[in-house]
Amino acid sequence: MSSFKFIDLFCGIGGFHLGAVQNGGECVFACDIDQDVRRAYHANFGLDPKGDITHISGSDIPDHDMLCAGFPCQPFSIIGNRRGFSDIRGTLFFDIARIIQAKKPKFAVLENVKQLATHDQGRTLKIILETLKSMGYSTYWKILNALDYGLPQKRERLIIVCFREYADFSFPPKETSYKPLLDILEKDVDEGHYASDRIVNKRKETHKSNYPLAIWHENKGGHISSYPFSCALRAAASYNYLLVNGERRLTPRELLRLQGFPDVFKIVCNDNRTRKQAGNAVPVPIISKVIREVLNASRTKRGKESNRAAS
């Protein structure tokens, strides 16, 4: 395992942090505007994230090999109709670009919702990629689903990987199985998480699941579907939309497990905030496996260079 220094921008509760550390990474800087998130990050990683990225200059950030950023999926309309690096000023992607420009890390790994790929008919992503290329980076992007990387959650995320020097990179191959729900669910769940008999019966009258153990997804219109995995957790979603067998809501620990956070992760905020934080997080196995491939690609490149030098 190689060691490398990374920074964690828009760190949340540390999905990137966990994925990078699993590959030998050492975090030298993190930031997030949300005070509760910073508290959780500190309790778990012993590091005090800084605040609003728009107030942080490149010179405040230590040198690092890898920049990680799961930037907020804010509206990209400002980028939409315009072109070029200066035109994306005002979006938080600009702050990432500004820091890459100042610090020139070897690698960057960025994450966002999959809709970024099609936003403004693909123009937004094109401008992001062109901006990264204009700073000398080769870029790769792909939509990855947590279900394909071992988690029982259908969560599709757009991942962009950038190399300061050319590297022969491939995204990690899909896996054939994911953790069964049984491994995610807690055994003793507080009664407060259960719906009343009346509501459970009503749900069971409207929906018959094909699976003995399933996460039921109830949409705003009351339509229920159920699968042996969860649909994507969402930070702002109603507490009631994901239900174990139609009977109870998921606990904060179960939500964190669905994102691949280990049980040693300390929950220091209340249930409401932890639900939001888990809903915002990046699935740890996706990031861990992407970072592993980034490091492999850079090693392969070094190998090829020394072969060339020797021949």
Ligand X SMILES: C[S@@+](CC[C@H](N)C(=O)[O-])C[C@H]1O[C@@H](n2cnc3c(N)ncnc32)[C@H](O)[C@@H]1O
Is position 280 an interface residue for ligand X (rule: CB under 6 A)?
yes
Catalytic: 68? Answer: no
The CA-atom distances, in angstroms, between 87 and each of 76, 79, 151 are 11, 6, 38
Q: How many CB atoms lie within 10 A of CB 150?
A: 18
**How near is the Cβ of 103 to ligand X at its closest, in Å?**
17
Q: Which of 26, 48, 52, 305 binds ligand X (CB under 6 A)?
A: 52
Q: Footprint of ligand X on residues 81-110 (CB under 6 A)?
A: 92
* Complex with ligand X: residue 92 or 146, whichever CB lies closer: 92
Choose which of 28, 72, 87, 138 interacts with ligand X (CB under 6 A).
72
- Asked if 53 interacts with ligand X (CB under 6 A), we say yes
Neighbours of 275 (CB within 10 A): 23
Active-site pick, 11, 27, 31, 73: 73
Taking CB under 6 A as the binding criterion, the range among 153-161, 242-250, 278-286, 288-296 that sits at the site for ligand X is 278-286
Is residue 45 involved in binding ligand X (CB under 6 A)? no
CA distance 43 to 51: 16
CA separation (Å) from 102 to 17, 58, 160, 170? 22, 5, 19, 27
**Binding of residue 260 to ligand X (CB under 6 A):** no
Q: Choose the binding region for ligand X from 29-37, 147-155, 171-179, 239-247 (rule: CB under 6 A).
A: 29-37
Give the x-and-dash track for 7-26 against ligand X (CB under 6 A): ---xxxxxxx----------
* Separation of CA 164 from chain center: 22
Catalytic residues: 73
Chain residues in the site for ligand X (CB under 6 A): 10-16, 31-34, 37, 52-54, 70, 72, 92, 280-282
